[in-house]
Structure 1
Amino acid sequence: MNKKRKIAWGITGSGEKLVETVEIMQQMRDEYHKQFDIRVFISKAGDQVLKYYNLSNTLETKFDKTWTEINSNAPFLAGQIQLGRYAFLLVAPATSNTVAKISLRIADTLLTNAAIMGQKTNTPLYIMPTDFREGIVTTKLPNGKDLELTITREDAEHVERLSIMDSTNVFENPDEISTIFQKHAEML
């Protein structure tokens, strides 16, 4: 039997599509438990947002390995990515801040540092930006109420920059995550 490949799943400080993403990742854990070991890396802001959405306990009980950012090198995800210890890095959901930093090559957080290192080492990187395209979106707040947001041209431009970077794939919806897992499972 082949050894399980590790997957790094990064969660940033966005509530947009967070609930759906956690649900899909639980499905991926169940469906691909023989092929992949999903490791969860949570940004400082992601930790706050998970608490707002009452999802912290879910992650801790459903995923064996979860870490919260201390700084850009702790836990040392970038080093593990550099050494090829992960089949891919998935950042979902990714805030406009995280997307902008990666597109501008600013590696000052756990997940931006890991993503940029992944690009440098040709580790497949999958990013689900919450601010995917310019326009008005409606998101759900933790209390269930709707909030209307305006996605700016600048935010959309950072997504476009990411989409043409080597080893980088951007996608819009959590339901696309299953295709990513299927693709990598077929490569085993």
Structure 2
Amino acid sequence: MFEMEEKKKKRVAWGITGSGDRLPETVDVMLEVKKEFPDVEIAVYLSKAGAQVVKYYKLMDTLKENFGAVRVEIDANTPFLAGQIQVGRYEFLLIAPATSNTVAKIAMGIADSLLANAAIMGLKAYVPLYIMPSDYKEGEVITKLPDGRDLRLRVRKEDVEHVRKLAQMDGVTILEKPEDIPKVFRKHFGKS
């Protein structure tokens, strides 16, 4: 008698960089996504700066309680996210929010950080990359500081040019806002 082949577990890698812009909103959306897709394992990976910002916003416990282990960058290959993405462990890589630094690195092919390396290596292996840049459109944005105060920031044309370059890359989808994230999960996993 043949045993039924075990269904491949559905997994997604979620990377968080050092941007506080829309970070709490992104975490809220991901909590809703987790409820909508309970069979999808969402593994959280933080850049070094991402770990600092998550702590400033007091979101580390929320991430650990809801997504299990939260892995923090030691170097570009530790934890070994790039290799796991290349061998198909994850359906796709989501980086949200993504700093202008991470966006520029990926756009320029610089793989010297955990999330930039994972994105570039994943794209080489045809693994989709979804990225929500903090600097999406040139102009001014108002973001919230951890204490609730508003912070006015200028989004430079140079940063937006990297976003445009990324948008033209095969396998990359740019997300404008946290509310765009559930559509990605619905596309890959259908309605739960």
Q: Please report how far the alpha carbon of residue 85 of structure 1 lies from its aligned counterpart in structure 2 after TM superposition.
A: 1.1
User: Which amino acid letter does the alignment assign opposite residue 20 of structure 2?
Assistant: G
Task: Indicate the residue corresponding to 2:85 in structure 1.
Answer: 81
Q: Does residue 4 of the first structure (1) align with residue 5 of the second (2)?
A: no
Contact 1:8/1:39 (8 A) holds in 2? yes
> What is the SS of the residue equivalent to 1:87?
coil
Partner of 2:99: 95
What's the secondary structure of 2:24's corresponding residue? Answer: helix
Alignment partner, residue 130 of structure 1? 134
Letter in 1 for 2:89: R
Q: Matches of 2:180 and 2:119 in 1, distance apart?
A: 19
Off by >4 Å, runs of 4+ in structure 1: none
Is 1:19 aligned with 2:14?
no
Is structure 2 residue 171 aligned with structure 1 residue 171? no
Calculate percent identity across the aligned residue pairs. Answer: 55
Pairwise CA distance, 1:187: 10
Q: Give the Å deviation of 1:118.
A: 1.1
Aligned length: 187
Partner of residue 75, structure 2: 71
Deviation for aligned residue 1:116: 0.3
Q: Give the drift of 1:123.
A: 0.3
Quick check: 1:38–1:65 contact (8 Å CA) kept in 2?
A: no
Could you tell me which runs of 5 or more consecutive residues in structure 2 were left unpaired when the two chains were aligned.
1-5
Q: Distance in 2 between matches of 1:52 and 1:171?
A: 24
Gaps of 5+ in 1: none
* Counterpart residue identity of residue 81, structure 1: I
> Counterpart of 2:184 in structure 1: which amino acid?
I
CA–CA separation in structure 1 for the residues paired with 2:31 and 2:78: 25
Distance 2:95 2:35 in 1: 19
Partner of 2:3: none
Q: Within 1, Cα distance between the matches of 2:190 and 2:63?
A: 26
Asked if residue 32 in structure 1 is aligned to residue 37 in structure 2, the reply is yes
- Post-superposition Cα deviations, 1:27-77, rounded to whole Å, max 9, x if no partner, equal 11111012x110000010000001110001111111123201111000000
Aligned residue number for residue 48 of structure 1: 52
Structure 1 counterpart of 2:146 = 142
Which residue identity lines up with residue 143 of structure 1 in the other structure? Answer: D
The letter of the residue matching 1:57 is: D
Q: State the SS of the aligned residue for 1:24.
A: helix
Q: Which amino acid aligns with 1:95?
A: T
Secondary structure of the residue that 1:86 maps to in structure 2? coil
Q: Tell me, in whole angstroms, the C-alpha distance in 2 between the residues paired with 1:97 and 1:45.
A: 11
Letter in 1 for 2:117: N
Q: Pairwise CA RMSD of aligned residues?
A: 1.4
Larger radius of gyration: 2
